[in-house]
Structure 1
């Protein structure tokens, strides 16, 4: 009894120390994050299970934490949500969001209906750097890698020369330099534009020494692989941080095996640098297929009226495809390439972009209702080899991501010539309201946002009036266009940093340039932006940001596909012969599966099983796969059966991740 009481006291203390209610207001290390979740698992042993996945090159344990009511069952019946936090290891806020989610799951009723798999950090070796002195941000794990291909490994990394606790930058006056100070703020440098007669004056280095004496500075730092980009889709084989091959890192390979072994995973969420909740997955990548010399696969040749031995241009193929495209569906090269399976898919399919764009709008409305500031810098685009791309393109399930913090945009004083309209405001306007602004204001707005010349105000007005274009589509297009800056003006990111540093950090986010006598470079200046400043707010602010945005995850989960038997209909054809019609419905908004999932044949289809005594199938089968049911739609299945009058049939609908259902019917007139 005494030992039992001691154990209870230990668990209570552990929970108090390591739960999100802890008094220590700081971002946690990978070890501390695991301790927090381990304590939660011990205190909730019927709802939380720890899967020990792998150890990183640096000796950090990577775990997957399973939350739900089926943790002791090999066969999972409930759909599962896979949450990957901080895949690259440079976002402490993302790991805290995972810990926040763990607490929220135990408070909610979600575990009665869903299983959650939670990874608090993947690149734990990189996350450790946030708590080290000097502070230095890197995306690499601790695996040794010989960047400079000499006889020594990891021998020339950065050094804290001025002993201020930060690895910053060194600028050196040099006639061969390519950098010059910004006119608007000399603390910041930009590349000289030779076309405009500008001559560089500085060379720029990471703070440090030439430790190996090869004349190059900090070219072989500690560590090797960014495990966050070690996944198969668009993997870069010759990139020194992506790994030797996809899944070369033990933790990545083990994670992929885990995902493939759990077909109940219905969706993935990444807490990282991208934000698919706010901005649809990036389109516009160029694939490897030659779209000017297309051979129609033999299985599609008859459908297209084409010769499989002849090559066609994309324009010719699109012309052949026109009669097959349903009314209201836009025929695009991406649609054709996806349908024909031309090379690796590199862009999200149009059908999927429709639900992404709609959910983006709903998320913005959700944030607006909370008075959450959305005038922030855009999140990063997904990186080649990332978990998000692998999930969408290979696993074929709805793939979402959160970036909980980017810098607020700097407030600016509007000149009289400016339109007083932002892209965010445009998204929420109707076409009529935008057109009502008038050609002059629209022209000013387009110019401010660097729209191509072909998008004149007059043309845009005509397209909006004709229904060829919507304000939401226009806003999405403008967001993809790099913003030009006026002569002598700072770019948007630098202005946002200055405003944030001045107003929120009281200037502590920038190391002032200070003279230093370097042993080999001579007179240098050390200074610049501190690492992590643009991605990691204070712990207290971070908790508020998570609390405002994370609840959207639960709303998204409620939109995942849910299949059921809508109705059945029996028609007597002749004595002992019956026509059975069965309607299968998807009760929720998201499709089963995604268009990309359909293209890949991944994930597995749902199955309708018909079971009855002495039933012969004249048309149809006892086991019928159901490959696709769009959101809020239904599909009809028909069977011709021979059986005695009054025979009872049991209909079982089974799916790995979209629910199950059952119905009983009797064959009678």
Structure 2
């Protein structure tokens, strides 16, 4: 065995050991090792590419999986790490890629996968830092409070537990009160119900710039899921100065806008149109700038939702709506593709028992569920600290763990990944596929032949979403009749452009040709493949 082979073997063994020993979400180095391992296993079917580096110097990786030329198959994109505190999305993207390469390589003969495991690597890194907090923004410095200074009022870990949580300050002028069913939780007091506020709450830290606001301009950066073009949230924290202002956004869209074979995008984010499908709204659909899913796409979304709910039961699923500038909204409204989004996991509702009643408050209910499931450190107990900004008040630091409500215990990740792999394979089974069927030839005399054929979409999904068709951006179906010098086309067109075919849809086409020899029929569109037939007249 030569040194190169020995080194490769040692790398593979190290990766296997890391996988077996994994007990927590993977950091940047472990994600990179996993990607290289998947690419190595995939061989010619896998290509790992860095689209760009963020301002924090981290790679935006793309793993392309395809048997043959990627552009020759309909494509699905999978986006993880869209939100920096959603580590589960990165794990799901990695595990789905691993499963496709290892267990389902046959799907790559007809489907290309473009997998982006972590689109917020600057933000995700905060989970592995000495001081952890739920960060969304990248490493771009920003002036969130618009005072001319950049990142000057960051968090401070006042109780030195390695986490940034919340501060509660006892104050009779406060707006918050303790929740009766779980006094660890604070809720807004309602004077109309005779409730009095006794606390003020802040994020953990100091008022560094002495403007009366805490941590309003820290390591904010630009949020990946706020910087897209649809419904861009101007002048809000994390959105950036303008849409697609960041190098990672530009690199991603520069690539995607050249991939005509893409027909679907799965995004792991808070938005959720898989547990509960989007509803058509005539008013929103009729606007010049459309804000509602279109009628035909509503039916497709419902079909996909039904398939998803069979694998991932919708019990207690959040009806998360996108908040503007999101990747999910862009992928449908501006990119015109079949758009799917899910957080991938959500805590079950604690139903209570004969001893413990189910709390109505969301956080209190989660804590009851976490206790029943043995989830550790879901809540950081309140701890009194001396605070220079509140010298005459009792100040305590604690609250919900910043990552626990979005990311399940790591032991659950494998089973969640399997369900989502099964789902995306189901989507691939449904994908549009052009076929030329029911070919008929009829001799009509004078060396004339009539050819009739059905152009059929063998998939359950349409060749174009209604939004994609409306946008006029997606390429149309082209049908070519290719003749030689021995034939003359009497009726019909040598090239016909078809707008779209619905799922399981069919269009009958016919030509009249004079002459002998062979002709070729070809129907092609990038997102549904190519079908050809050679006909001997």
Name the counterpart of 2:349: 409
Contact 2:463 2:527 in 1 (8 A): no
Gaps of 5+ in 2: none
Contact 1:564 1:659 in 2 (8 A): no
1:374 positional shift: 4.1
Name the counterpart of 1:98: 93
Which residue of 65, 68, 79 maps to 2:66? 68
Which residue of 291, 300, 303 maps to 1:346? 291
Which residue of 529, 534, 537 maps to 1:664? 534
Name the counterpart of 1:567: 438
Name the counterpart of 1:27: 25
1:496 positional shift: 2.7
Distance 2:212 2:309 in 1: 51
Which residue of 491, 500, 524 maps to 2:369? 500
Name the counterpart of 1:476: none
Contact 1:86 1:92 in 2 (8 A): yes
Contact 2:280 2:298 in 1 (8 A): no
Q: What are the within-5 Å matches in structure 2 for residues 286-305 of structure 1?
A: none
Name the counterpart of 2:330: 390
Name the counterpart of 2:522: 652
1:151 positional shift: 4.5
Name the counterpart of 1:5: 5
Distance 2:231 2:168 in 1: 35
Are positions 1:362 and 2:307 aligned together?
yes
Name the counterpart of 2:146: 149
1:395 positional shift: 2.4
1:363-384 residue CA offsets vs partner (Å, 9 max, x unmatched): 32344xxxxx642341522231
Q: What are the within-5 Å matches in structure 2 for residues 3-402 of structure 1?
A: 3-17=3-17, 21-70=19-68, 73=69, 76-107=71-102, 108=104, 109-281=106-278, 332-333=282-283, 337=286, 342-367=287-312, 374-402=314-342
Distance 2:258 2:333 in 1: 17
Distance 1:83 1:10 in 2: 30
Name the counterpart of 2:494: 622
Name the counterpart of 1:448: none
1:499 positional shift: 1.6
Name the counterpart of 2:395: 524
1:118-153 residue CA offsets vs partner (Å, 9 max, x unmatched): 111101111011112322102111110112233532
SS at match of 2:47: strand
Distance 1:186 1:521 in 2: 22
1:502 positional shift: 1.9
Distance 2:223 2:96 in 1: 25
Q: What are the within-5 Å matches in structure 2 for residues 466-477 of structure 1?
A: none
Contact 1:281 1:382 in 2 (8 A): no
Distance 1:403 1:617 in 2: 55
Number of equivalenced pairs: 530
1:52-97 residue CA offsets vs partner (Å, 9 max, x unmatched): 1111121111110111223xx4x72112221111212211111111
Residues 385/515 of structure 1: CA separation in 2 closer, same or farther (3 Å cut)? same
TM-score (norm 2): 0.92
Distance 1:279 1:506 in 2: 27
Contact 1:536 1:542 in 2 (8 A): no
Which residue of 614, 618, 636 maps to 2:508? 636
Residues 576/225 of structure 1: CA separation in 2 closer, same or farther (3 Å cut)? same
1:28 positional shift: 0.9
Contact 1:377 1:493 in 2 (8 A): no
RMSD of the alignment, in Å?
2.5
1:230 positional shift: 1.4
Residues 257/198 of structure 1: CA separation in 2 closer, same or farther (3 Å cut)? same
Name the counterpart of 1:584: 455
Distance 1:283 1:366 in 2: 25
Distance 1:44 1:11 in 2: 16
1:505-535 residue CA offsets vs partner (Å, 9 max, x unmatched): 4662112223222111132122211111111
Name the counterpart of 2:484: 613
Contact 2:82 2:119 in 1 (8 A): yes
More strand by share: 2
1:155 positional shift: 1.7
Distance 2:109 2:534 in 1: 26
Contact 1:611 1:649 in 2 (8 A): yes
Contact 2:96 2:418 in 1 (8 A): no
1:379-417 residue CA offsets vs partner (Å, 9 max, x unmatched): 522231211111122222222233221111120469xxx
SS at match of 1:550: helix
1:610 positional shift: 0.2
1:3 positional shift: 2.9
Contact 2:275 2:317 in 1 (8 A): no
Distance 2:317 2:523 in 1: 46
Contact 1:501 1:508 in 2 (8 A): no
Residues 186/11 of structure 1: CA separation in 2 closer, same or farther (3 Å cut)? closer
1:573 positional shift: 6.0
Gaps of 5+ in 1: 285-331, 368-372, 415-487
